[in-house]
A and B are shown apart, each in its own frame.
Chain A
């Protein structure tokens, strides 16, 4: 029973943060702030939703014993979470760098530190 309550709390947090990511994608003015909203919120929400899957399958695994088929589900869900945690921030960094080098300015920005650093180099 306690496992179900923890799973529902994790699903609620994950769905809420994914909704925040999509709202931020529409409310923010330019690429960099949209990237800020969507990447961090989707990574956090995805982490909580996959942790919910892992908790539920690990509880069945603990009841059924070591040779349960739920063990494969738990470990592979962990691998999927590790892949998301590694690839999502890296991809967003690449998009932000490409957007800056293709000449898109941040909205309402007055100081551009990256451009000044590239001038001084």
Chain B
């Protein structure tokens, strides 16, 4: 039930990665990375349900918060040109 959804999300991540590689300017790449981050969090929760390991869901929570912080710092760098 869960593994086909995880494989589908992996295909979506590869398609979004093409945008990260092609992206004409820096904010477009950041948008692609942000999309991939959200999909990684969701697939970690789905894998935690598939293998019945609660630790995967805990890792997903920490990953969501850390990717939020990294997105904020990249946005600050784009805005001012320095940290």
Contact = CB atoms under 8 A, between A and B. Distances in A.
B49 A73 contact: yes
Given A56-B49, A77-B45, A98-B27, A26 B8 contact: no
Q: How large is the interface on A (under 10, 10 to 19, 20 to 34, 35 or more residues)?
A: 35 or more
B78 to A, nearest CB: 4
B79 A45 contact: no
Interface in B58-81: 58, 60-61, 64-65, 67-68, 71-72, 74-76, 78-79
Interface SS, A side? helix
B68 A91 contact: yes
Contacts of A102: 26-27, 78-79
A104 B27 contact: yes
Contact of B34 (A11, A57, A92, A99): A92
Interface of A: 4, 7-8, 11, 14-15, 18-19, 21-23, 25-26, 30-31, 34-35, 38-39, 42-43, 45-46, 49-50, 53, 56-57, 69, 72-73, 76-77, 79-80, 83-84, 87-88, 90-92, 94-95, 97-99, 101-102, 104
30 contacts: A11-B5, A15-B5, A19-B12, A21-B16, A26-B15, A31-B27, A34-B19, A34-B28, A34-B31, A38-B31, A38-B32, A42-B39, A45-B42, A46-B42, A77-B48, A77-B57, A79-B61, A80-B41, A83-B64, A84-B42, A84-B64, A91-B72, A92-B34, A95-B27, A95-B71, A95-B78, A98-B27, A101-B79, A102-B79, A104-B25
